Amino acid sequence: MDERLLEFEDKMEKSLDSLVNEFATIRAGRANPHILDKLRVDYYGTPTPFQQVANISVPEARMLQIQPWEASLIKEIEKAILNSDLGITPNNDGKVVRLVFPELTEERRKELVKDIKKKGENAKVAVRNVRRDANDLFKKQSKANEISEDEAKSLEDEVQKLTDKYVALVDKTVDDKSKEILSI
């Protein structure tokens, strides 16, 4: 592959990775420690990721257990969870905070699938924007006689192949996550 295309493929790859990471935070009725990735707990005045102040485990399929390294953090952890958009009420026994995930209703699953598809569309738009940027660059280089018209056309074809590949990967990722949400 032409090294001029590597930069654009890297950007497309990052769009896909971003989508995959975003999907990891969508809960599917099962306990997934990644839903806490975006949350921060106030640790001595500093917003700190949960993973840096507590041990997070999954003792049961629909339960997360958060064991802070300092007992004084329990109240802050609960506050962070309650202020988030998780929609789960934390329980604590003085030593650990437990999050019990309710079964998803059919309606909620359909909402999640809509949200997943919307995020997928956004990822495809990002991939297509990379294609547009690449094509603009090649046209500009062709006009400036830095590359030939044939070379520009060839590079544009290669970028289109990359775009098709990443759009297909985004579609597959969206389909897989949608099936996961609907099949629980």
CA distance 100 to 77: 15
Give mean pLDDT, residues 15-24.
87
**Domain match, 125 and 80 both:** no
Q: Which residues contact 72 (CB under 8 A, 6 or more apart)?
A: none
At position 148, the amino acid (one-letter code) is S
**Domain match, 52 and 83 both:** yes
CA distance 46 to 153: 52
Final residue of a domain: which of 76, 100, 124? Answer: 100
Asked if 138 and 2 count as a contact pair (C-beta separation under 8 A), the reply is no
Percent of the chain at pLDDT above 90? Answer: 30
Final residue of a domain: which of 100, 117, 132? Answer: 100
- Residue 80 in this model has a pLDDT that exceeds 80: yes
Give mean pLDDT, residues 172-180.
90
Which domain range does residue 139 map to?
3-24+105-182
CA distance 76 to 45: 11
* CATH classification of the domain holding 163: 1.10.132.20
**Domain match, 59 and 85 both:** yes
**Domain match, 19 and 55 both:** no
**Domain match, 170 and 113 both:** yes
CA distance 45 to 158: 50
Gyration radius of the chain over CA positions: 22
pTM metric for this prediction: 0.69
- Residue 13 in this model has a pLDDT that exceeds 90: yes
- Residue 102 in this model has a pLDDT that exceeds 80: no
Closest to 112 measured CA to CA, from 3, 6, 41, 23: 23
CA distance to 22, 29, 85, 93, 120, per residue, from 106 (Å) = 22, 11, 19, 32, 21
Final residue of a domain: which of 100, 115, 136? Answer: 100
Residue 70 DSSP SS3: coil
**Domain match, 64 and 87 both:** yes
